[in-house]
Structure 1
Amino acid sequence: MTADNIDTSSSTWKSVFRNDLFQGKVAIVTGGGQGIGKEISLELASLGATVVIASRDVAKCEEAAREMNALIAGSGVGRVVAGPSTNIRKEEDIQNLVAHVVEKYGALDMLVNNSGGQFIQESAEISRRGFSAVIQTNLEGTFLMCREAYNQYMRDNGGTIVNITIGNRNGMPGMMHSAAARSGVENMTASLCTEWIESKVRINCVRPGIIFTDSGFKNYGPAGEYFIKKMNKSLPARRLGSPQEVSSAVTWLLSEGASYVTGAILCVDGGGSYVGLPLIEIEDKANLPVYGTLPARAKL
């Protein structure tokens, strides 16, 4: 499977949910101008929500908002708007984003923590600075977004939060730093769902498997195509996932239909979390020493 035979066109997109599902609701989607975040933003807006997308590049968010609004024109009363420049590694930026949304739109009913970043590298070669940068973005940034949404609005008004993690049930050789951060997000979510339930706040995770997006795989350069070929052989579904499949899961968790669901991890991975992630080659001569006796036929 290559990027050439995967249809990622938003022009064929259509939500499975009713048009007024989120009418009058206000949402923030971090990283909502591209990839999975863009599909989530598009779907929420098509269902009536005012969706504020945020990243460091306001111009790109504004352009993405124009594209999405053109696609959903006439489908409902929702819209996508660009928020202020936000680096989720900066506490002040996050505080300003949430304050801006609450002040301008009068609410913050839904939060989707989609922003994140990582790079492919063997663990022994990751610098402390590189490890810290991924932890700050994927774990600390997600926590700060949740905290500010809760403190500035949801504590008194309720709300729903979905954190996007990553398929790491069996670890992620080659991206250990990201797997560690995302596992932290999942455990944080389990803690917050109990702490905040009295405020009528639900918080869940969606754990995508390997999802194809043009923007995502371009970031990895030639390694992206190699990644696809390696992963496709090991996935039970024998294909990568689409951003729309992740968006559908997020939409359900944000909806009233999931009103009894909190602290959950919803996997969207085609069964991929139950198999290994063969990003690192294991040489034939590699083995662990044996304690006791082992028949020759037991060796691979």
Structure 2
Amino acid sequence: MSGYQSVLKEGLFEGKTMIVTGGGSGIGRCTAHELAQLGAHVVLIGRKIEKLESVKAEILEDGGSAEAHACDIRDEDAVKVCIKAIKANNEIIHGLVNNAGGQFPSPLTGINQKGWETVVRTNLTGGFLMAKEVYLASMQKHGGSIVNIVADMWGGMPNMGHSGAARAGMVNFTQTAAVEWGNSGVRVNAVAPGWIMSSGMDSYPPALKPWIRSLKDAVPVKRMGTEAEVSAAICFLLSDGANFISGDCLRIDGGASQGGRVFPLPNAKNSEPYDGFHRSETPDIFKD
């Protein structure tokens, strides 16, 4: 195989099955590609089968192995059916990346109950349902590793309060599952991406464009992260090299959550982005 330039060793996940939710775009797509490059059979999950089939085709073209399943992770019955279908094709599920998520910008007073519950179901309940069913179907017997994708919500998440609450809940779920499932050989961790140049940035209203472009100024290293920098951390946590790491949350934010809101940030140097993803695409918002 050629293509993705992972920092991890070739064949690391050979013979292993890894599920990636939200694998049709952004960080999920990038992670799926890296896992496939490292030898994993990647199971792509998302609501839109067209996007998943597109990523599957990319992986197959690059010489990797993948399958795709459309599933609304917020629906318990749908998740059960999906995991059953995956198990029919794969004896063991070795890893799960709970990446699927979504939100909309709004102050707390502008969020109604339906909007709140929709975001919480997407970013918290869905991840719980996926983890629970994968644990019961495979990891309880064979062990495995789960990585939950959250966000930089420390100190609050103004204009994203529904998402912040859900992500904080997912961190606590990560800690709880690490304890309850540890005796089965299951490790559960989380990663919290900060401001990442991902396709999700293009989903926000045009009025937020100047603000999004200025986000790098609030990061100590004075730049935004790449999808590959998040994927590298996810893949490490899934690997045997992280076998004694569980219940933790790794912040991938260039230090933005460590006090930069009150400490003056001078110009930065010596921080070059790592982008091993051969199919990475610059979000439209950063092109002009």
TM interval, short-chain normalised = 0.7 to 0.9
Cα contact 1:113–1:164 (8 A) shared by 2: yes
Aligned equivalent of 1:196, options 181, 184, 199:
181
Aligned residue in 1 for 2:65: 79
Q: Distance in 2 between matches of 1:113 and 1:274?
A: 25
Identity within the alignment, %:
41
Q: Name the SS of the counterpart of 2:88 in structure 1.
A: helix
Q: Distance in 2 between matches of 1:27 and 1:230?
A: 35
Aligned equivalent of 2:118, options 129, 133, 150:
133
Q: Which amino acid aligns with 2:161?
A: M
Q: Which amino acid aligns with 1:60?
A: K
How much does 1:224 deviate? 4.6
Residue 55 in 1 paired to residue 39 in 2? Answer: no
Q: Distance in 2 between matches of 1:177 and 1:96?
A: 28
How much does 1:226 deviate? 2.6
How much does 1:59 deviate? 1.8
Q: Name the SS of the counterpart of 1:89 in structure 2.
A: coil
- For residues 143-183 of structure 1, the C-alpha deviation after alignment (integer angstroms, 9 at most, x for no partner) is 10110011111101101000000011121111011010000
Q: Which amino acid aligns with 1:196?
A: W
How much does 1:65 deviate? 0.9
Moved more, 13-22 or 261-270: 13-22
Task: Please give the residue correspondences for 1:97-246 in structure 2 after superposition, counting only pairs within 5 Å.
Answer: 97-214=82-199, 216-246=200-230
Unaligned runs of 5+ in 2: 263-288
Aligned residue in 1 for 2:232: 248
Q: Name the SS of the counterpart of 2:158 in structure 1.
A: coil
Cα contact 1:110–1:254 (8 A) shared by 2: yes
Cα contact 1:169–1:274 (8 A) shared by 2: no
Aligned residue in 1 for 2:59: 68
Q: Name the SS of the counterpart of 1:93 in structure 2.
A: helix
Q: Distance in 1 between matches of 2:60 and 2:228?
A: 17
- TM-score (norm: length of structure 2): 0.87
Alpha carbons of 1:120 and 1:277: their partners in 2 closer, same or farther (altered >3 Å)? Answer: farther
- For residues 245-281 of structure 1, the C-alpha deviation after alignment (integer angstroms, 9 at most, x for no partner) is 0000000000000000000111110011124779xxx
Alpha carbons of 1:66 and 1:224: their partners in 2 closer, same or farther (altered >3 Å)? Answer: farther
Cα contact 2:195–2:216 (8 A) shared by 1: no
Cα contact 2:4–2:37 (8 A) shared by 1: no
Q: Name the SS of the counterpart of 1:94 in structure 2.
A: helix
Q: Distance in 1 between matches of 2:260 and 2:167?
A: 17
Aligned equivalent of 1:44, options 35, 39, 48:
35
Cα contact 2:4–2:33 (8 A) shared by 1: no
Alpha carbons of 1:12 and 1:226: their partners in 2 closer, same or farther (altered >3 Å)? Answer: farther
Aligned equivalent of 1:262, options 235, 243, 246:
246
Find the structure with the greater CA-based Rg.
1
- For residues 119-166 of structure 1, the C-alpha deviation after alignment (integer angstroms, 9 at most, x for no partner) is 111111111110010001111111101100111111011010000000
